[in-house]
């Protein structure tokens, strides 16, 4: 190989490397902003605590504020699917008359990405009859699907069903 062909080859290799680096850099730039950090399972589990605290206020609007505008609620003690704010408020207006206090029994958290998580498991509610004051415990399975929208975690899907009889 002559000196001239070696110089040409070095120039081609260098140019190819620069194009490759430029392509990778452009690809990174085109990918947009960095993906949001994924929440921890503990952070996701604490979203239930906020929801349970909203129940304790007795205000159905405060509970409904934790749901996205397009959320779907499949509630424990109603056979109606609630798919808008008015339906969700209506459900909690009735449910909150029983002064529910929730407690998780089993939790399985799946972090899908920085903006989507699912919290599934079993919880119990102590309910107080608003006429007699008698308390009872209802055990149910649950699924909360959350999305982070405008920096706030909102419930987009909530399914709760009483445990089947044994």
What pLDDT score was predicted for residue 16?
Answer: 45
pTM of the model: 0.78
What pLDDT score was predicted for residue 36?
Answer: 80
What pLDDT score was predicted for residue 33?
Answer: 63
- Residue 33 is classified by DSSP as S
What pLDDT score was predicted for residue 165?
Answer: 76
HEC secondary structure over 110-146: EEEECCEEEEEEEEEEEEECCCCCCEEEEEEEEEEEE
Q: What is the mean pLDDT of each run of 10 residues along the chain (166 residues)?
A: 53 44 43 76 94 97 98 94 98 96 96 97 94 94 97 97 85
What pLDDT score was predicted for residue 163?
Answer: 93
The CB-side HSE value for 101 (13 A sphere, CA atoms) comes to 6
Residue 105 makes CB contacts below 8 A (sequence gap 6+) with 121, 122, 123, 124, 139
């Amino acid at each position: 190989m002559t000196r001239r062909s070696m110089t040409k080859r070095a120039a081609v290799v260098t140019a190819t490397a620069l194009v490759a680096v430029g392509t990778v850099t452009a690809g990174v730039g085109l990918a947009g902003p960095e993906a949001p950090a994924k929440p921890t399972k503990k952070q996701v589990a604490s979203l239930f605590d906020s929801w349970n605290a909203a129940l304790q206020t007795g205000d159905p609007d405060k509970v409904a504020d934790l749901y996205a505008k397009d959320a779907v609620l499949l509630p424990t003690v109603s056979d109606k699917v609630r798919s808008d704010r008015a339906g969700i408020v209506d459900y909690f207006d009735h449910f909150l008359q029983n002064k529910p206090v929730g407690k998780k029994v089993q939790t399985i958290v799946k972090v899908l990405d920085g903006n989507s998580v699912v919290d599934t498991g079993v919880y119990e509610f102590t309910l107080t009859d608003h006429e007699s004051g008698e308390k009872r415990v209802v055990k149910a399975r649950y699924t909360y699907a959350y999305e982070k929208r405008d920096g706030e975690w909102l419930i987009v899907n909530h399914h709760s069903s009483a445990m089947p009889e044994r």
